[in-house]
Amino acid sequence: MGVFGTKCIGRDACGACSVNCPINDCLKFHVDKRLAGIDREKCISCGRCAAACPSEAIKPWGWKVTEEELVQVILKDRAFYEKSGGGVTLSGGEPLLQANFIAGLLRKMRDEKIDSCVESTFSVKWEEAEKILPHTDRFISDIKAMDDKVHRKYTGASNALILENLKRLSGCDVPLTLRIPLIPGVNDGRENIEKTAEFILRDMGGKIEKFQILEFMHLGREKCQSLEREYPMEGLKANREKIHKRAEEIREYFEDKGIHCVLGNA
């Protein structure tokens, strides 16, 4: 559950969350009676507080849904897909952690003639990826850092499985967009950029549709705050002009290597 205290009407004026929460003292309030947070050790994630809140001061960051329910949500936008030439992207979290569910959904998208894309870290066993390979039209993935120690430090996991899966995927004849979320002082150095290009050309045979550079932004701050977690990039200062200049230099480097490279969502 995410907490957005500034939206809270106040316990005295409303109190719907307290009334509907089945756990005593699970919700925490400021002196002014506005919502301050949730006792995460007590919370059972029943969602009753969020359902009762009229101002969305408590919001679930995920919920259970059946395949058919999700299909009906997607089909509501069919006219938009047809007009724009777009389709459905399954992202996350990590969609391949629910590969069986995703495979069934993708089959239905193909039956409905709706283009589909799966966005994955590929930090899963290859067998999970194989379950959806016949059913999706394209993939999106990241190469965040080539150095395994750097990758472990900033993501909490090794990149070995990711790189191995990307090599396998390059031989599967499915369009793939690779990206790098460009983080100053972390993965924008010359060595990492050169090793990334080398991996794409040597280990993947250059078989990607395009390489995309995503310039660093503090997009995760709000979610971390709502979950009462420390935002790990809080101390990183983002100079937009310098980041953009470095991104353009990297784009030119990849283009010179024969790798089609774009900035942002181009």
- Grouping H, G, I as helix, E, B as strand and the rest as coil, residue 194 is helix
Query: Residue for token digits 């058919």?
Result: 68
Band (pLDDT 50/70/90 cuts) for residue 157 is very high
The helix or strand, by DSSP H or E, that contains position 38, with its residue range, turns out to be strand 35-38
Band (pLDDT 50/70/90 cuts) for residue 265 is low
The pLDDT of residue 218 is 66
CATH 3.20.20.70 describes domain 67-263: yes
What are the pLDDT digits (tens) for 25-46? 899 998 888 888 899 999 998 9
What are the pLDDT digits (tens) for 121-133? 999 999 999 999 9
Task: Decide if pLDDT at 266 tops 60.
Answer: no
Q: Which of 166, 96, 93, 104 has the alpha carbon at shortest distance from 135?
A: 104
Taking the mean position of all CA atoms in its chain, how far away is CA 203? 25
CB count within 10 Å of CB 155 equals 15
Q: List every span in the chain annotated with CATH 3.30.70.20.
A: 2-59
Q: List every span in the chain annotated with CATH 3.20.20.70.
A: 67-263
Q: Which one-letter DSSP state was computed for residue 203? A: I
> What is the assigned CATH class of domain 2-59?
alpha beta
The pLDDT of residue 117 is 95
Task: Tell me the pTM.
Answer: 0.82
Helix axis angle for 67-75 and 99-111, nearest 10°, is 40
* DSSP notation for 98-109: GHHHHHHHHHHH
